[in-house]
Amino acid sequence: MGYGPIIPDIGNAKIELTSEGTFKIDASVSDMGQGNASTFLQIAADLFNQPPERLELVLPDTDKTLPSGSSAASRTTYTYANALIGAAAKLKERLFEKSASRLGVNSTDAFEMLPGKIRHLPSGIDITLSSLADGLSDSERTAVHSWQAPVATEKVRAELKSVFGFPHIVFSYAAHLAAVEVDLLTGAIVICRYLAMTDGGRILNPQLFEQQIHGGIAQGIGYGLYEDYRVENGCSRTPNLTTYILPTAMDVPEMDSCALPLFEKTGPFGMKGIGEIPISGPLPAIANALADACGIRIFQPPMTPEKVLSALAEKQNDKDQKT
């Protein structure tokens, strides 16, 4: 997970208490459909004990939000959410301090955040967030926090050809099982059932977790069986989607996804990223299933019917020569 030790993997979060007493969260990394924007709001709602209607998410904008790197390397929620937790803690403590000053008490320990207000528990006095915001400057209503992901300190003996990558220190894990049928007349591979076991740390949003796993498996099936991008003499020979085949709902099997929610001590609430992990398993799982069914290996994806028939014919020729 993450960029590795050469490029700093940094998340920057900014939270503002608006004059209306709501919270504005600047999301610094893009949501491309994986659901991290929803997760950021979920985390903020939990930290401030506020309902969704009192939260506003500002999507990435170079004019407004702080840089937090790319939506890549399974680091999006892992890195930014750690920064978000830090910013929330700063703003929450400041609001408690201002509340204590208003009530003339010395300690901030006896305050609790409730929807739209802060309560002093011993006295039962409530201070609305909007009235508290009226007495704060713009800078006091805003908190910013930066968080940098930990990196491995081991030396790499091999020559690195990229500034990104190894060695990593945090890993997600998965085991995939594919059940396939192979048509010996056409060479077509049909995936009948699919099982994925995933350790992505503690699960913050089970629905998004399942969708991420299922979507990654579907993409991995495309990589393993259908998507054949060809380049010849520097020119693309796959110019459109009539020749670059993508899997559809008819090609995706019934999937079983089982989570192993182990706690990651460096992750926000114990989570890790699962961006790459579901897409990496289908190709080798299907290739091993093909080998188990037919005794052939195809080392250059995708495993198209033409390649399967060719490998079957080669296997038969080798058998005939031996006999």
CATH number reported for the structural domain that contains residue 219 in this entry: 3.30.365.10
CA distance 51 to 248: 37
The answer on 49 and 130 residing in a single domain is yes
Domain that holds residue 136: 10-148
Asked if residue 42 belongs to a domain, the reply is yes
The answer on 185 and 136 residing in a single domain is no
Say what the pLDDT of residue 25 is: 96
The answer on 309 and 224 residing in a single domain is yes
CA distance 312 to 20: 70
Asked if residue 2 belongs to a domain, the reply is no
Say what the pLDDT of residue 169 is: 87
Output phi, psi for 133, to 5 deg. -65, -35
The answer on 237 and 283 residing in a single domain is yes
Say what the pLDDT of residue 73 is: 87
Asked if residue 275 belongs to a domain, the reply is yes
Asked if residue 225 belongs to a domain, the reply is yes
- Ordered per-residue pLDDT tens for the chain, 323 residues: 888 877 889 999 999 999 999 999 998 888 888 889 999 999 999 999 999 999 999 999 888 899 998 888 899 999 999 999 999 999 999 999 999 999 999 999 999 999 999 999 999 999 999 999 999 999 999 999 999 999 888 776 666 666 666 678 899 999 999 999 999 999 999 999 999 999 999 999 999 999 999 999 999 999 999 999 999 999 999 999 888 999 999 999 999 999 999 999 999 999 999 999 999 999 999 999 999 999 999 999 999 999 999 999 999 998 888 87
Asked if residue 161 belongs to a domain, the reply is no
Say what the pLDDT of residue 160 is: 62
Q: What tokens appear for 117 in the block?
A: 């207000």
Say what the pLDDT of residue 233 is: 94
CA distance 275 to 216: 8
The answer on 258 and 210 residing in a single domain is yes
- Hey, which residues does 146 pair with through a beta bridge? 12
Domain boundary among 114, 148, 182: 148
Domain count of the chain?
Answer: 2
Strands 189-199 and 254-259: parallel
CA distance 228 to 221: 12
Q: Is the separation of the CB atoms in 202 and 208 below 8 Å? A: no
Say what the pLDDT of residue 243 is: 87
Alpha helices by DSSP H, 49-106: 76-103
Say what the pLDDT of residue 322 is: 84
Q: Is the separation of the CB atoms in 308 and 295 below 8 Å? A: no
The beta strand positions in 6-101, using DSSP E, are 10-17, 23-26, 55-58
Alpha helices by DSSP H, 135-246: 206-221
Considering the entire predicted model, what is its pTM? 0.89
C-alpha torsion angle, residues 281, 287, 289, 290 (rounded to 10):
160
Asked if residue 15 belongs to a domain, the reply is yes
